[in-house]
Amino acid sequence: MAKQKPPSNPQADLMRQMQRMQQNMADAQAALETETVEGSAGGGVVKATVTGTGELRAVAIDPAVVDPEDVEMLEDLVVAAVTEALRGVQELQARSMGSMTGGLDLGSLGGLLG
């Protein structure tokens, strides 16, 4: 007589699947911490480096662009470089998390998963 397989428990299966997904997401988050994205503005005279988790790590400014008479332009370049870097981080995060969620947009959950 063949040994019968115990009946499947859908709730337990779902919990295991969610735990695996949660671990995969934690692993992806840890990997993002080691990634960096650089944004630049003004043809590269201002550069911003941001980690994959969105932490601003560095701003580099070419001394040739520093004009004490036009501080506003420099401020605009810094904002543009940081914005570009953050946009790159969002793309990196979407690629990283999207591979685990099968492309499912979890952003609508309002941060409930992390």
- Which ranges in the chain belong to alpha helices (H)? 10-34, 71-101
* Residue ranges of domains in the chain, CATH in brackets: 35-102 (3.30.1310.10)
The residue written with tokens 């932490």 in the block is 55
Tally helices (H) and strands (E) across the chain.
Answer: 2, 3
pLDDT score of 88: 95
pTM: 0.68
Per-residue pLDDT reduced to its tens digit, 43-85: 999 999 999 989 999 999 999 999 999 999 999 999 999 999 9
The half-sphere exposure of 114 on its side-chain side, counting CA atoms within 13 A, is: 17
Per-residue pLDDT reduced to its tens digit, 87-111: 999 999 888 877 666 655 555 555 5
75-98: b (≥16 Cβ within 10 Å) or e = eebbebbbebbbebbeebbeebbe
Q: Is the dihedral of CA 85, 88, 94, 96 positive or negative?
A: negative
Single out the residue of 31, 64, 61, 67 nearest to residue 49, CA to CA.
61
